[in-house]
Amino acid sequence: MAKPWAAEQIVTNDVALELISKQFPELVPLTIKLIGEGFDNTVYQVNQQYVFRFPRRSIAVDLLLVECALLPHLFSLGLPLMVSEPVFFGKPEERYSWPFVGYRFIEGESPGAATVDQRMQSARPLAQFLSILHRFPVEKAKELGVQNDLLGRLDLAKRLSQVDSNMNKAMELGLSRDRRVLDSFLSSLRDGGGDNSGTGSPPKCLVHGDLHIRNVLVDENHIISGVIDWGDVHTGDPAVDLSFVYSYLPPEGRSLFFSIYGETEESTLKLARFRSIHISLLLLLYGYDQQDDVLVAATQDSLKLAFEDL
């Protein structure tokens, strides 16, 4: 079975240099550095001022275009966390048949090991950010091309078996040793303890759609300062984004978060925790496959947090 992060097109350093130089001569002379290869995009920093993203899979192309239509509207809201601002729009060429986009560079780095206090200090800005984002008018988002969740991110009929399988893989690889807490939690979901939010569920709000440790940035004090990679943005269930609360904040941080974000239904919270486990396991296996020890350690921490107070 193909890995979900397998690339269909990879833009090398030389190809990226050629494409950007040709289409955006105002940026020449170029300095270019590879800064990331995710599931959907290959990412280069250009002239230390911009970030260019090149889709790696066909599914990411339309997502990139929708993202570029929406982001200027989010950027104008004055969000408490920085978001990407698209400024260069690349066109398909012979050497690369998909569009690509350049954004203003956002200062910050991916979260590594963080103390409880540092995580606690991220609770307030994160809650303020998601509160504003989730109140963005759904009809306005649809006008900009944002679609409902077509992937069934919270479809328990599909996702429960994936989580079960990925936990088995993690245990086989020695990345996790005990699944008793997970089994108890999954049983409660199978018994109807959480909503089955599939692709047919009505959209509730605008969500980032892929909020996890690889898509947030922290400042020099290790406090969350920015949110990047909006390719999975859609209208759907807030639990998709609230999953990050369970994979990054300790229990006391969650209490602070929801005191600011607002009251949330228990079924939504349960789905959010499930989503956090699902994504953390997927990133754990991805990190192992990519031999990224930092990501492996970070996602193991995320799983521990997601299982806390269960």
**pLDDT more than 70, % of the chain:** 95
Confidence of residue 5 (pLDDT cuts 50, 70, 90): low
What pLDDT is stored for residue 203 in this prediction? 66
6 contacts 40 by C-beta, under 8 angstroms:
no
Q: Which residue has the tokens 């109140």?
A: 135
Task: Read off the pLDDT of each residue in 169-191 and give the average, rounded to a whole number.
Answer: 92
**Rounded CA separation 252/246 (Å):** 11
Q: Is the pLDDT of residue 196 over 90?
A: no
What pLDDT is stored for residue 7 in this prediction? 81
27 contacts 21 by C-beta, under 8 angstroms:
yes
Confidence of residue 184 (pLDDT cuts 50, 70, 90): very high
**Rounded CA separation 226/232 (Å):** 16
What pLDDT is stored for residue 198 in this prediction? 52
What pLDDT is stored for residue 183 in this prediction? 94
**Rounded CA separation 113/125 (Å):** 19
Q: Is the pLDDT of residue 175 over 80?
A: yes
Q: Is the pLDDT of residue 214 over 70?
A: yes
Q: How many CB atoms lie within 10 A of CB 289?
A: 12
Q: Which domains does the chain have, with CATH numbers?
A: 13-104 (3.30.200.20), 116-307 (3.90.1200.10)
171 contacts 288 by C-beta, under 8 angstroms:
no
Residues 10-46: tens digit of each pLDDT: 899 999 999 999 999 999 999 999 998 878 899 999 9
Task: Read off the pLDDT of each residue in 77-96 and give the average, rounded to a whole number.
Answer: 93
What pLDDT is stored for residue 6 in this prediction? 77
Q: Is the pLDDT of residue 199 over 60?
A: no
Q: How far is CA 49 from the centre of its chain?
A: 22
255: Cβ contacts below 8 Å, ≥ 6 apart:
none
Query: What does DSSP say about strands 32-37 and 41-46: parallel, antiparallel, or unpaired?
Result: antiparallel
Task: State the pTM of this model.
Answer: 0.89
Q: Is the pLDDT of residue 250 over 90?
A: yes
Confidence of residue 78 (pLDDT cuts 50, 70, 90): confident
10: Cβ contacts below 8 Å, ≥ 6 apart:
37, 42, 56
What pLDDT is stored for residue 161 in this prediction? 94
**Rounded CA separation 118/96 (Å):** 42
Task: Read off the pLDDT of each residue in 232-239 and give the average, rounded to a whole number.
Answer: 95
CA angle 168, 169, 171 (to 5 degrees): 65
